[in-house]
Structure 1
Amino acid sequence: MEALNEVWVHLTTTRDAPPTWAILVAALVALVAVGSAVSWRVSRGLITIAHEGGHALVAVLTRRKLQGIRLHSDTSGVTLTRGRPTGPGMILTALAGYVAPSLLGLGGAWLISEGYVTLLLWAVLVLLACMLLLIRNLFGVLSLVVTGGAVFALSWFAADEVQGICAYLAVWFLLFGGVRPIMELQRKRRRGRAPDSDADQLARLTVLPGGFYILFFLLVAVASLAGGVALLVPLPLSFA
């Protein structure tokens, strides 16, 4: 019991935020990573992990049978569930993917704004470990092992200041990275290249068109980004 108490104290010990200039630099680096075609091809897989994790979590919460997750080298992914092909559970599961990165980013922004950097890092490790149990292809296993290993190394070996900056960078990346896939999806839909996208599946499940769900995804992503900015950037700005 004493050991558990020590672990809990370690996880919930708060830290001071980095200086505002460092927070803004982290935001700029994340924005460049999302905006650059080259870096986006490399880093987009992290958004896919969050996307498929969102599908999987909501499937479990709505009591659908979760059969597995696949992550592919082209940064696409798929979450396989079994249950009623229609109804609230299927609708909520389909809704969850595109909003998951942004909502995770917003939750992470709240945690680090309160100083819970270590708690955030270990929460990410737990989520990745749970996803690893559901992965059904080799590339997906490698993706999660590499990502989880990097987060573990950061939480275990890096100095507190480095952990703090990396946590801000990761949260900014989720907030910015939650927006771009939605824009990409709409461009593909205009060209008829995404007939089975989440938005189009939702259109077939409900009376609303796919464009409505694109707008919904985008509103959630933009609202999460605005909330993240409010949480992460001290006002009035101070470069002390």
Structure 2
Amino acid sequence: MKVFAPTDISIITTYRCPMQCKMCNIWKNPTDPRLEIQPEELEILPHVKFINITGGEPFIREDLDKIVEVAFRKAPRVVISTSGWFEERVLELARKFPKIGIRISIEGLSQKNDELRGRAGGFDKGLRSLLSLREMGVKDIGFGITVSNNNSEDMLSLYRLSKALNMEFATAAFHNSYYFHKDDNVITNRDTVCGNFAELINMQMREKHPKSWARAFFNMGLINYIEGNRRMLPCEAGL
């Protein structure tokens, strides 16, 4: 069998996290900082098109800039997934690496986000970080939502906000994994959630950008997944 070289890499920098999300128990299972992957260990990575730096919360690492430095030697595009909780650290890193991508996880409007992520003020910190990054001139910024039982309506409002701010917007669906230390994430109000995804798809299909149409296809796959069918796009993590 032919083995293809990887094109994308995801680096889990830590399982420590200041948030207390209802859909994820990583924060209850933190890593020992002394055992987390070190920047010099990443030198073995091949050259790829894209690297995502994630966690836990990557900005809890005080040496994140050294990790990003190695990542940019391995890929032309590097994006960090974050809660935006450490506002000043986010902005400081962006000043040092202006081409960095930042994706802030926001699970709904202010009240819903803070309820689901378990920390008061999380929405304000995340949105403030994004607005500050935009003012600094950072281009590759946006936010995303993990849709669960009670936030799919807020997803539509967040999408409209992303369009008004000219920022990227990503979606994911509630699920379980060893990574999250969760096995009880189940979408129970499927009709409501799928109906809101269908509305999002309609909005994306009315846009003039092929990228929006591709995201509409991805969201159609999420509807398929939520309804208990096989995902339309295969998981490539094992590759």
TM range (shorter): under 0.3
Q: Which has the higher contact order (CA 8 A, sep 6+)?
A: 1
> Which structure features the higher share of strand residues?
2
> Which structure features the higher share of helix residues?
1
TM-score, structure 2 normalization: 0.25
